[in-house]
């Protein structure tokens, strides 16, 4: 079997981004441009992935996890041909190399598989696209009679006739490695940019009578490159529209498909409804009949069926049971697991806590590092004081507890089964089962007391 190598060119500076961050580290849908390309390359299970780095090389290297990458430095950015030449010592002698660009993030696995399928009998294969406005791209020059590819002509080197060509070079190509060894050292920089153009190997191929095949992209946005912030913003919206269309197709109701952001993977059951302005990050799973209100942010969350999340709620690294009601303005932080029929209301923050069936904290509370039993009612303004400045402590609230408003539970502490806590209490010791416990200073009234008056002028 012929070995497959992938080279990702990522050494360019990206001046037009006007940013200190290397271009390929800018994010699209919450993931760096380079990670998008690397993940797609990994799906091909190639024998080797080389990434050519230059500007911000160390930072770029740190950004990609895993030890399956061969990092190839390019000291000076002398052109795409020069960049690929740096990888020659690492490529498998009899393999094939697929060239990808670190700034073309959305190339799909399907398009690449179609391109690879065209690689018969040692031909070179180019991924091309017909576009309305080809400005800036290398043009595909074909023989007028046979339509065979003759060369790629860069925008800056093209004559007026070539500038009229709408078939462009996406930059993505598949070349047998022995040809690369032969041709790359022959490339010259006699062009307007004084760069070593990778695209010049096409003319060399034709000169040697080696056919150049072409393959087309499925969607134009797959080959859109990022050179500046407006292209990045444009591609982000195109990608989000594509994600939204996929969800709609699967039967998810999106109140406005142009106002949703998915920065990871969102998996939905049937009859899920999502209102405007929501952001889904990491892996989010919404089961059947879940409703998500406007402007919620959910990151790495599982929500079981029939649960409603009301507007402006923020939920991260948590599991929410069935038939729960969360929000509006709820904050659920990492390590939280809510059972079924739990209600978490406005301005309630829950962190690293488990809350069992049917329990409610409807207003203005902080529940941290706690284990809450079934059918517990936590009154407004209840705070678990879990932090002593150095350590975190646990609060245990057993089944059927009723906690009056404005209570502080000084952890570590246990509120035993069936306890009732009087409003305004500070609880520092375990409360006995089934009793009323309260800590409250006696109410006094001062007769004859007069309110101070402002002097009259």
Neighbour tally for 217: CB within 10 Å: 23
Which residue from 128, 199, 313, 353 is in contact with ligand UD1, where contact means CB under 6 A? 199
82 a catalytic residue: no
Catalytically annotated residue among 123, 242, 314, 363: 363
Residues from 210 through 229 that contact Mg ion (CB under 5 A): 225
Q: Give the nearer residue to ligand UD1 in terms of CB position, either 227 or 439.
A: 227
- Partner whose binding site includes residue 10, from Mg ion, ligand UD1, none (CB under 5 to 8 Å by kind): ligand UD1
Pick the piece of the chain touching ligand UD1 (CB under 6 A) from 173-181, 193-201, 297-305, 353-361. 193-201
Pairwise CA distance, residues 423 & 1, whole Å: 75
Q: Give the nearer residue to ligand UD1 in terms of CB position, either 146 or 192.
A: 192
Q: Which helix (H) or strand (E) holds 152?
A: strand 149-153
- Partner whose binding site includes residue 341, from ligand UD1, Mg ion, none (CB under 5 to 8 Å by kind): none
Is the distance from CB of 354 to CB of 371 less than 8 angstroms?
yes
Pairwise CA distance, residues 210 & 175, whole Å: 11
- Partner whose binding site includes residue 152, from ligand UD1, Mg ion, none (CB under 5 to 8 Å by kind): ligand UD1
Residues from 1 through 60 that contact ligand UD1 (CB under 6 A): 9-12, 52
Angle at 255 between CA 249 and CA 258, to 5 degrees: 75
Please give the full DSSP string across 23-44, using - where no structure is assigned.
GGGSEETTEEHHHHHHHHHHHT
Residue 350 is a binding residue for ligand UD1 (CB under 6 A): no
- Partner whose binding site includes residue 171, from ligand UD1, Mg ion, none (CB under 5 to 8 Å by kind): ligand UD1
Pairwise CA distance, residues 236 & 403, whole Å: 47
Is the distance from CB of 427 to CB of 439 less than 8 angstroms?
yes
Q: Give the nearer residue to ligand UD1 in terms of CB position, either 16 or 440.
A: 16
Q: Give the nearer residue to ligand UD1 in terms of CB position, either 52 or 409.
A: 52
Q: Which helix (H) or strand (E) holds 260?
A: strand 260-268
Collect all residues with Cβ–Cβ distance below 8 Å to 221 and sequence separation of at least 6. 106, 235, 238, 239, 242
Q: Pick from 238, 245, 312: which is nearest to 275 by CA?
A: 312
- Partner whose binding site includes residue 373, from ligand UD1, Mg ion, none (CB under 5 to 8 Å by kind): none
Residues from 162 through 181 that contact ligand UD1 (CB under 6 A): 168-171
Least distance from ligand UD1 to the Cβ atom of residue 343, Å: 51
- Partner whose binding site includes residue 29, from ligand UD1, Mg ion, none (CB under 5 to 8 Å by kind): none
Least distance from ligand UD1 to the Cβ atom of residue 153, Å: 8
Angle of the 109-117 helix axis to the 33-43 helix axis, nearest 10:
50
Size of the site for Mg ion (CB under 5 A): 1
Three-class SS state of 343: strand
Least distance from ligand UD1 to the Cβ atom of residue 168, Å: 5
3-state secondary structure 359-422: CEEEECCEEECEEECCCCEECCCCEEECECCCCECCEEECCCCEECCCCEEECCEEECCCCEEC
- Partner whose binding site includes residue 168, from Mg ion, ligand UD1, none (CB under 5 to 8 Å by kind): ligand UD1
Tokens standing for 127? Answer: 């991924």
Order of strands across the sheet that contains 273-274: 253-254, 273-274, 291-292, 308-309, 325-326, 343-346, 360-363, 377-378, 402-403, 420-421, 436-437
Is the distance from CB of 85 to CB of 185 less than 8 angstroms?
yes
Least distance from Mg ion to the Cβ atom of residue 125, Å: 20
Site track 90-119 with ligand UD1 (rule: CB under 6 A), x = hit: -----------xxx----------------
Neighbour tally for 355: CB within 10 Å: 27
Q: Give the nearer residue to Mg ion in terms of CB position, either 155 or 377.
A: 155
Q: Give the nearer residue to Mg ion in terms of CB position, either 235 or 266.
A: 235
Least distance from Mg ion to the Cβ atom of residue 294, Å: 38
Site track 60-89 with ligand UD1 (rule: CB under 6 A), x = hit: --------------x--xxxx-xx------
Positions in the binding site for ligand UD1 (CB under 6 A): 9-12, 52, 74, 77-80, 82-83, 101-103, 137-138, 152, 154, 168-171, 197-199, 225
Q: Which residues are catalytic?
A: 363
């Amino acid at each position: 079997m012929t070995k497959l190598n992938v080279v990702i060119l990522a050494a360019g500076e990206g001046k037009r981004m006007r940013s200190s961050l290397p271009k390929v580290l800018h994010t699209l849908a919450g993931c760096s441009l380079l990670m998008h390309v690397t993940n797609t390359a990994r799906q091909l299970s190639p024998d080797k992935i080389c990434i050519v780095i230059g500007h911000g090389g160390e930072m770029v290297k740190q950004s990609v996890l895993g030890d399956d990458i061969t990092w190839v430095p390019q000291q000076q950015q002398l052109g795409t041909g020069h960049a690929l030449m740096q990888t020659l010592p690492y490529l498998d002698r009899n393999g094939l190399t697929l060239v990808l660009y670190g700034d073309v993030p959305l190339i799909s696995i399907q398009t690449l598989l179609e391109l690879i399928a065209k690689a018969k009998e040692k031909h070179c294969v180019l991924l091309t696209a017909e576009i309305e406005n080809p400005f800036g791209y290398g043009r595909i020059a074909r023989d007028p009679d046979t339509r065979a590819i003759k060369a790629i002509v860069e925008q800056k080197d093209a004559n007026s006739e070539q500038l009229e060509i709408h078939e462009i070079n996406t930059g993505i190509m598949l070349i047998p490695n022995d040809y690369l060894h032969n041709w790359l050292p022959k490339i010259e920089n006699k062009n307007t940019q004084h760069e070593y153009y990778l695209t010049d190997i096409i003319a060399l191929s034709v000169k040697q009578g080696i056919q150049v095949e072409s393959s087309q992209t499925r969607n134009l946005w797959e080959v859109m490159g990022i050179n500046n912030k407006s292209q990045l913003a444009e591609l982000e919206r195109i990608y989000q529209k594509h994600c939204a269309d996929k969800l709609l197709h699967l039967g998810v109701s999106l109140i406005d498909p142009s106002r949703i952001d998915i920065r990871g993977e969102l998996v939905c059951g049937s009859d899920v409804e999502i209102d405007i302005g929501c952001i889904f990050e990491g892996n989010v799973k919404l089961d059947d009949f879940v409703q998500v209100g406007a402007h919620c942010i959910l990151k790495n969350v599982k929500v079981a069926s029939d649960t409603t999340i009301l507007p402006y709620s923020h939920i991260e690294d948590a599991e929410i049971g069935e038939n729960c009601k969360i929000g509006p303005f709820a904050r659920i932080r990492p390590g939280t697991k809510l059972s079924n029929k739990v209600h978490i209301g406005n301005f309630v923050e829950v962190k690293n806590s488990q809350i069992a069936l049917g329990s409610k904290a409807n207003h203005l509370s902080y529940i941290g590092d706690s284990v809450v039993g079934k059918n517990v009612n936590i009154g407004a303004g209840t705070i678990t004081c879990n932090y002593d400045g150095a350590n975190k402590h646990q609060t245990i609230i057993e089944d059927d507890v009723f906690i009056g408003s404005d209570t502080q539970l000084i952890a570590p502490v246990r509120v035993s089964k069936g306890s009732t806590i009087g409003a305004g209490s500070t609880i520092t010791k375990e409360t006995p089962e089934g009793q009323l416990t309260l800590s409250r200073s006696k109410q006094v009234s001062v007769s004859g007391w007069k309110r101070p008056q402002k002097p009259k002028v």
